[in-house]
Amino acid sequence: MQARKVWTLFFSLPIFAWAMYDFANTIFTSNIVTIFYPFYLSETLGKSEEMNQIASTFITYSNAISSFFIVLLSPLFGVWIDRTGKKKAYLIPFTLVCITATLLMGASAFWQTDQQWMGLNVSLIGVIFFFMIAKFFYNSSLIFYDSMISDLGNQRELPIISGVGVAVGYIGTLVGLAVFPLIDGKHYENTFIPSALLFLIFSLPMMLLYKEKPAKTAAAKKSLISGYREIWGTFKDARKYRAVFQFMIAYFFFNDAIATAIAVMAVYANTVMGFTTGQFILLYLVSTVSSIIGSFLFGYVTRALGSKKAVTAVAFVLIIAIAIASLATSKSLFWVAGSLYGVSMGAMWVTSRTLIVELTPEEKRGQFFGLFAFSGKVSSIVGPALYGSITWALAASGNLASRVALASLLVLVIIGLIVHIRVSQK
């Protein structure tokens, strides 16, 4: 079937609403996960080089704990999709809980109290707690959002639609950074509530304009345990779906590196490379523009070369980016690393989503997207936990601890690439 032109795709109402949700949720992941939550913890806890490493440990461990619960529940979310045919019906409440938890992060940060628990101020503990809830529901919502893509176009259009969504999402990053002047020195907590409100506002097209296809007749009610049995049954069919499982193992290692770098890049740039907050925001803007370019570019690369070769190319870009960042002794080299990382981050979402659609049967696609998230979220435990453990163990070494922790991600990407090369396509 003939593929529609890119601008025709974007102005299709379902695709526009779908892409705008990427715009909205990227504000959360950039403002909260990547920039201002890490800066808030670093400013609150990091009073020396050693305490900077401890702050990095708190950042990565809170990300890992949130991901642990995604690992427990994400397979069930995919089963819900396959049983009911519903995606938006779950996406919206999950989004609203994420937004509410982000608002409570702000409220907790503004709470003035001298109460302590385990040596930490209770208001700081509240920020960490609500961050983990917000991130859990954000990541959960992506299972329903990502699986929507198969409803939006034909197989030839999907790489371009995926690229449009990711690119529009990164444009959302630029809009989200409008809250930067609110930090008023180093009051990073001032950005939490405005970021939540921006997430809500730009989610409205999805909430109000997206019309979901009529849901199929729901399957007979089954217990929660039966959902895990279905997941286990899919695992037992590994020979039948061998290529999908191979790629999910590869994606585990790729996402290990990506998720960890997202969580620590702000603090790494600040404490190791000496970037000021303003300089990092500028670096992040450049990285975001690189992600936009990478998203669009790899939509066409995927269509031209095929999704498997496109993922391979992205993995090589990621290896180069991490190697430069971990070894860089000058800010100029770190700028190069940030730009390359931006390209690889945007392109990985585009190419991997497309490859999953190509490798999975339509009737089990929701379940495989759940398993895809499962693979990604297990890695979102391991990567941050590995990084945080290295910074904790080597905290007395100061910034060397962060360099070693970042360099360890190279091993993960290389393992992922070796596994990915073995993925077979029909």
**Intra-chain end-to-end CA distance of the chain, in Å:** 19
**Rounded to two decimals, what is the model's pTM?**
0.76
Collapsing DSSP to helix, strand or coil, 121 comes out as strand
The tens digit of pLDDT for each residue in 99-144 reads 999 999 999 999 888 887 777 788 989 999 999 999 999 988 988 8
| CA–CA distance, 151 with 174 (Å, rounded to integer) | 28
Whole-angstrom distance, CA of residue 153 vs CA of residue 1: 10
Backbone dihedral region for residue 25 (phi beyond 0: left; psi -120 to 50: alpha; all else: beta): alpha
pLDDT at 216: 57
Q: What is the CA radius of gyration of the chain?
A: 21
Q: In the predicted model, is pLDDT for residue 33 greater than 80?
A: yes
Q: pLDDT category, 353, cuts 50, 70, 90?
A: confident
Reading the block at residue 76, the tokens are: 């069930």
pLDDT at residue 95, as a whole number: 96
Averaged pLDDT, 190-219? 85
Q: Which two tokens stand for residue 292?
A: 């936009």
pLDDT at 217: 52
Lowest mean pLDDT among 99-108, 225-234, 236-245: 225-234
pLDDT interval class at 370 (50, 70, 90): low
**pLDDT reported for residue 341:** 92
Confidence of residue 47 (pLDDT cuts 50, 70, 90): low
**Where is pLDDT greater, at 52 or 315?**
315
Residue 247, pLDDT score: 87
Q: Given this model, what pLDDT does residue 32 score?
A: 94
Q: What is the mean pLDDT of the chain?
A: 83
Q: What is the reported pLDDT for 1?
A: 46
Domains and CATH numbers, the chain: 13-210+224-421 (1.20.1250.20)
> What is the per-residue burial (b if ≥16 Cβ within 10 Å, else e) of 150-162?
bebbeeebbbbbb
Q: Which of 76-85, 94-103, 289-298, 363-372 has the highest mean pLDDT?
A: 94-103
For residue 192, the model assigns a pLDDT of 96
CA distance 106 to 125: 12
What percentage of the chain has pLDDT greater than the value 90?
29
The pLDDT, as a whole number, for residue 238 is 58
53, 341 Cβ separation under 8 angstroms: no
Q: So what's the pLDDT on residue 148?
A: 82
DSSP code, position 330: S
Residue 314's pLDDT is 93
3-state helix, strand, coil in the chain (%, to 5): 85, 0, 15
pLDDT at 366 over 50: yes
Q: Give 4's DSSP letter.
A: P
Question: Among 20-34, 114-128, 351-365, where is mean pLDDT lowest?
Answer: 351-365
Query: Is pLDDT above 70 for 234?
Result: no
Q: Is the pLDDT of residue 182 over 60?
A: yes
Tokens 């690119």 label which residue? 167
Task: Please determine, for residue 420, whether its predicted confidence score (pLDDT) is greater than 90.
Answer: yes
- Say what the pLDDT of residue 415 is: 94
* pLDDT mean over 214-226: 57
Residue 227 vs residue 129, higher pLDDT: 129
The pLDDT, as a whole number, for residue 352 is 86
pLDDT, position 6: 56
Q: Quick one: tokens of 111?
A: 């709470």
Q: Is the pLDDT of residue 218 over 60?
A: no
Residue 10 pLDDT level (bands cut at 50, 70, 90): low
Q: Extract the tokens encoding 355.
A: 């490859």
pLDDT at 313: 93
For residues 416 and 339, the answer to whether their CB atoms sit within 8 Å is no
The listed range with the strongest mean pLDDT (262-276, 370-384, 401-415) is 401-415
